[in-house]
Amino acid sequence: MIEIAAGLPIKKGKFLLGWRSAHRKAFPSCWDLIGGHVEANETAEQALVREFQEEVGITPTTFEFVTKFETPDGAGDRILSLSVYRITAWAGGEPKIRNDEHERLGWFTGSEAANLPDFAVGEYKRLFASLDRHP
pTM greater than the 0.85 cutoff: yes
Question: What DSSP element (H or E) covers 113?
Answer: helix 110-114
Confidence of residue 73 (pLDDT cuts 50, 70, 90): confident
Q: Which residues are CB-contacts of 74 (< 8 A; sequence separation ≥ 6)?
A: 26, 27, 120, 121
Confidence of residue 74 (pLDDT cuts 50, 70, 90): low
Give per-residue pLDDT as tens, 9-19. Answer: 999 999 999 99
The 8-class DSSP code of residue 104 comes to E
CA trace torsion 79, 15, 89, 127 (10° rounding): -40
- Position 54 scores a pLDDT of 96
Question: What DSSP element (H or E) covers 95?
Answer: none
> Which residues partner with 84 through β-bridges?
6, 67
Spatial distance between the Cα atoms of 8 and 18, rounded to a whole number of angstroms: 10
**By the 8 A CB rule, do 67 and 84 touch?**
yes
Q: Which domains occur in the chain, in start order?
A: 2-133 (3.90.79.10)
State the average pLDDT over residues 30-53: 96
State the average pLDDT over residues 56-73: 92
- Position 30 scores a pLDDT of 86
- Position 120 scores a pLDDT of 76
